[in-house]
Chain A
Amino acid sequence: MAEALKHILYKYPGKEQKDLIPILQDIQNENGYLSETHIQNLSKYLKIPEVKIYSIATFYNQFRFAPNAKYHIRICSGSACHVMGSDKLTETIKNTLEIQGNNRSKNGKISIEEIPCLGACALAPLIEINGIFHAKLNSQKLNRIINELLENQQ
């Protein structure tokens, strides 16, 4: 039982509910997301019903239930970026990359995520693609980035 999670779970011998969120954070940090198997194993270990784990995990913004795509775009939607025109950028990204309802492009190679604040309000509006920041964006700059992205994913 829970063999794959053993190295994380041994840190939480108490098996208490208060450990649930830190365990979920550890699993996500290692795997990038929470899979169904993770939740099943955790449910057995903590003796908390799966549905309850889901109800708690889905309450918080941090947890993801699917892995990010090869190219993961994080768009800052903080208030500074908003007044500098980030919603227009988001729209352009969604339209040109044909992002579907699940926040992924059709071929599944690009995923997007709107996050509260990336922490560089002086450089607003900005986005981050796989850890690289693109700051003080305008439509021309963004188009160039998108075109590069489209070429790379071919």
Chain B
Amino acid sequence: MPVSDSIHEKLTKGLAPQRLEVIDESHLHAGHASAPEGGESHFRLLIVSAAFEGLSRVARQRLVNGLLSEELSGPVHALAMKTLTPDEAAAA
């Protein structure tokens, strides 16, 4: 399964997000010092989920990182993310 699909699947299962975008930005980093070959290494996430309510920024990212620990210890080299609650997303 492509890495972006497994990210999508795990976050959908773990966070029941209202909105989820998984953007592969690997092409922007091709050839840089520590980027693995073949892409699927740099991702940007936008996640809107009620699961983030009451959590600090660090706690939100830890939650996401925990769900994706397998990807992060394997192919995924960089993971940028925006984590919003439904209320925060509505206000943005």
Genuine A/B complex: no
Which positions in A face B, CB cutoff 8 Å? none
